[in-house]
Amino acid sequence: MSGSKHIVITGASRGLGRHPALKALNGGYSVTGLARTPPPEAGFPSDVTSPANVAQCFSAPRKRPLWALINAAGVGGVCAYCKH
């Protein structure tokens, strides 16, 4: 049903991006996971905090059209702007 649909997921190696990446893979979608430490299932190393790295990632020739983009990349830890 979904075999030809391609999804790009940022933050796919853990946290909020990991679950939809695995769910989509198990559902038969083609998945490209972007993460600083890419997931072994379907990953591409990309640091989304680096504009040059993101440009390089998306300038590569695409073999299939993009069906969906899930932007789940984030940074954990203490927020510098949060009041404690």
The pLDDT tens digits of the residues spanning 32-73 come to 888 877 666 666 667 777 788 777 777 665 677 889 989 887
Pick from 39, 37, 35, 36: which is nearest to 23 by CA? Answer: 39
Looking at residue 76, what is its pLDDT? 64
pLDDT tens, residue by residue, 13-28: 888 888 888 898 889 8
Q: Hey, which bits of 1-84 come out as E strands?
A: 6-10, 30-35, 43-45, 66-71
Pairwise pLDDT comparison (82 vs 45), residue with the higher score:
45
Q: What is the pLDDT of residue 43?
A: 63
> Looking at residue 1, what is its pLDDT?
43
| φ and ψ at residue 6, rounded to 5 degrees | -110, 130
- How far apart (Å, rounded) are the C-alpha atoms in residues 4 and 68? 12
Identify which of 52, 47, 25 has the alpha carbon closest to the alpha carbon of residue 36.
Answer: 47
